[in-house]
Chains A and B, each alone.
Chain A
């Protein structure tokens, strides 16, 4: 415990790391306020720049982008009614009405304080829960890992955007993409069509840059002629004593909700903020204020979405299963820098892990300062015309993807997956399930193969392992629950429509 605290404290003594957190927080907030870019795209674009850094510095950059961009989405949500990130969508419900009443500064003050408390709370939970979970996961063997990855994939059914069936189709497609290349145990080439650049499979980063950044570019092209109006504000104000009295319970509740939602594989800040907001409304004594500028609404959504960031890091680091789209990129970052995600990370490189946790706490404090003193300046960045912004993103996307292994094939992968991602999104398929499926694909196949070898080809023996059975039951619940729910809602809607007509 003392060693962990020492490692966390050591980040304060690393001036380069502090400078890096400062600079990355600025970049993260800029990314967050630019509608459309968001934490996932930002992290994917910045990943190539971290290659020359030490593992701790590199993961700090990515996690700082994650926490700061998640918060910064609220700036534009409050000032221009456009959430910078999907996680800030619930903040628009009350943030914008409050800003319209001339209290934009107060709304931002509540958002930044709630986000900071949520973020720090979740990192503390991460510090406590991750080593405990790692101790359990240390005993996992291939059958348990196979069942766990199936559970992770099943959770795709409940990702917020897209329908559950569409998300699962996306996940299956992602898993299939992971089979491209030579099969690891036999060396048999799969779906390479004679192209030996694909022998080791598709790299994570170009696929992610394509799915998130390039497809977003094509989606944003629809908004090329949109004009946004901003609301002016004098300064960001810290919440008053009365405000604190009104929101502290909401913040605490949302911290718990956000962290828990974040821990669930494949769930993320967007779901957390929506549930945080709904629960804030449910428990509030002033329900009528919601939707008209309730400070509890802002606090509920913002504390939950930032609390989800630390929560999402738990399965990412302990089990190698990403808790959200951005943590999928952080997971790739961990692998690229030689930090093998999984329980062994907590025994072999525990000092690095706690340094990363310490850096995450600092990042949360850093965006509190920036949110309070520079939100007004950052809000102006959102006015950069997208006709200039996205061509610049295009240049960074193609050069960044090339730089990873100096291969033009990676650039073509970005373009192809950009177009695939665009058409998927056009037809209501979210791209995050494809990314999560792609990451988990190799784990599923390898652990299934190893389980079969372990049990002499008798797959049903997996069902004799208690923990594996537990994960499989959870997977079935995760899979069927939202699908049945989806079908029931559609049937209800259909019946309602036919009775109306």
Chain B
């Protein structure tokens, strides 16, 4: 068993202890409200105790038969995760639909689309069609931003 095999059980264990700690910080409900039932903190703590038992079993399983090593993902995967972060930044800072179009375009290119015009048209036409569908047919109002401020007036 390698040290790296302990990363997953380790992360889950740390997570479980954090949840238990946070649960213990929760307010206690007055007995007249809770009655014969349980405090709101009890259930998450109970869950995390089960989790810790399961992590113990998982570690034993890994000890008995170590898991296969996981190959590192290609740059497209990590790039896509970064694009999700960029999407968050652009939505809060610029505009929801501009963010969608930019991220779509970058994702097309990142995933190997060599036809720039095709990628550009897909990333422009799709948000426009989706906007028309949701705005006109489903009557959804989208969050204001650079573009939607201009549209909504």
Seen from chain A, the residues whose Cβ lies within 8 Å of a Cβ on chain B are 48-49, 51-52, 163, 165-166, 168-169, 172-173, 175-176, 179, 183, 185-186, 188-191, 214, 217-218, 221-222, 224-225, 385-388, 390-392, 394-396, 398-399, 402-403, 406, 408, 411-412, 415, 418-419, 422, 426-428, 445, 448-450, 452-453, 455-457, 483, 486-487, 490-491, 493-494
Interface residues of B in 96-153 (CB under 8 A from A): 96, 100, 103-105, 107-108, 110-113, 118-119, 122-123, 126-127, 130-131, 134, 137-138, 140-143
Question: Smallest Cβ distance from B131 to chain A, in angstroms?
Answer: 8
Q: From B70, which residue of chain A is reached at the shortest CB distance?
A: A426
Contact residue among B33, B43, B104, B108 (Cβ-Cβ distance under 8 Å from A179) = B43
A172 touches B77 (CB 8 A): no
9 A–B pairs (Cβ distance < 8 Å), ordered by A: A169-B55, A183-B29, A189-B27, A387-B107, A387-B113, A388-B113, A427-B8, A448-B43, A457-B37
A270 to B81 alpha-carbon distance, docked (Å):
29
A190 to B143 alpha-carbon distance, docked (Å):
28
Question: Smallest Cβ distance from A28 to chain B, in angstroms?
Answer: 19
Question: Smallest Cβ distance from B121 to chain A, in angstroms?
Answer: 10
Question: Smallest Cβ distance from B22 to chain A, in angstroms?
Answer: 6
A222-B73, A224-B111, A388-B119 are contacts. A168–B54 as well, Cβ < 8 Å? Answer: yes
A406 touches B70 (CB 8 A): no
B118 touches A190 (CB 8 A): no
B134 touches A172 (CB 8 A): no
A428 touches B67 (CB 8 A): yes
* Chain A residues with CB under 8 A of B48: 176
Q: From B50, which residue of chain A is reached at the shortest CB distance?
A: A172
A173 to B74 alpha-carbon distance, docked (Å):
28
* Chain B residues with CB under 8 A of A169: 12, 51, 54-55, 58
For the complex, would chain B's binding face be called helix, strand, loop or mixed by DSSP majority? Answer: helix
* Chain B residues with CB under 8 A of A449: 37-38
Question: Smallest Cβ distance from B19 to chain A, in angstroms?
Answer: 7
Give how many B residues have a beta carbon under 8 Å from the other chain's beta carbons: 69
A486 to B60 alpha-carbon distance, docked (Å):
12
A186-B40, A427-B70 are contacts. A391–B81 as well, Cβ < 8 Å? Answer: no
A456 touches B36 (CB 8 A): yes
* Chain B residues with CB under 8 A of A51: 138
B6 located at the interface, meaning its Cβ lies under 8 Å from any Cβ of chain A in the complex: no
B14 located at the interface, meaning its Cβ lies under 8 Å from any Cβ of chain A in the complex: no
* Chain B residues with CB under 8 A of A457: 35-37
B104 touches A411 (CB 8 A): no
* Chain A residues with CB under 8 A of B107: 387, 390-391, 394
Q: From B113, which residue of chain A is reached at the shortest CB distance?
A: A387
A176-B48, A224-B74, A449-B37 are contacts. A415–B111 as well, Cβ < 8 Å? Answer: no
A222 to B88 alpha-carbon distance, docked (Å):
22
* Chain B residues with CB under 8 A of A494: 64-65
How many residue pairs between the two chains, A and B, have CB atoms under 8 Å in the bound complex?
179
* Chain A residues with CB under 8 A of B47: 172, 175-176, 179
Given pairs A183-B29, A402-B142, 10 additional interface contacts (CB within 8 A): A52-B138, A169-B55, A176-B19, A191-B19, A224-B111, A385-B113, A399-B131, A419-B81, A457-B35, A494-B64
* Chain B residues with CB under 8 A of A190: 23, 26, 40-41, 44
A221 touches B104 (CB 8 A): no
B138 touches A49 (CB 8 A): yes
* Chain A residues with CB under 8 A of B58: 165-166, 169
A398 touches B36 (CB 8 A): no
A403 touches B84 (CB 8 A): no
A165-B54, A452-B38 are contacts. A415–B87 as well, Cβ < 8 Å? Answer: yes
B122 touches A222 (CB 8 A): no
Contact code string B4-45 (vs A, CB < 8 Å = 1, else 0) = 000010001000000100110011010001111110110110
A172 touches B51 (CB 8 A): yes
Question: Smallest Cβ distance from A99 to chain B, in angstroms?
Answer: 28
* Chain A residues with CB under 8 A of B111: 221, 224, 386-387, 390-391
A487 touches B61 (CB 8 A): yes
* Chain B residues with CB under 8 A of A166: 58
* Chain A residues with CB under 8 A of B122: 388, 391-392
A428 to B37 alpha-carbon distance, docked (Å):
37
* Chain B residues with CB under 8 A of A222: 73-74, 76-77
Q: From B30, which residue of chain A is reached at the shortest CB distance?
A: A186
Question: Smallest Cβ distance from B142 to chain A, in angstroms?
Answer: 7
B104 touches A394 (CB 8 A): yes
Question: Smallest Cβ distance from A328 to chain B, in angstroms?
Answer: 19
A327 to B75 alpha-carbon distance, docked (Å):
34
A391-B104, A391-B122 are contacts. A483–B34 as well, Cβ < 8 Å? Answer: no
A172-B50, A398-B87, A415-B88 are contacts. A218–B80 as well, Cβ < 8 Å? Answer: yes
A456 to B35 alpha-carbon distance, docked (Å):
8
Question: Smallest Cβ distance from B147 to chain A, in angstroms?
Answer: 14
Question: Smallest Cβ distance from B76 to chain A, in angstroms?
Answer: 4
B44 touches A217 (CB 8 A): no
A225 to B113 alpha-carbon distance, docked (Å):
10
Contact residue among A175, A390, A408 (Cβ-Cβ distance under 8 Å from B91) = A408
Question: Smallest Cβ distance from B101 to chain A, in angstroms?
Answer: 8
Question: Smallest Cβ distance from A178 to chain B, in angstroms?
Answer: 10
Question: Smallest Cβ distance from B54 to chain A, in angstroms?
Answer: 5
* Chain A residues with CB under 8 A of B92: 408
A453 touches B127 (CB 8 A): no
* Chain A residues with CB under 8 A of B35: 453, 457
A457 to B34 alpha-carbon distance, docked (Å):
10
* Chain A residues with CB under 8 A of B141: 406
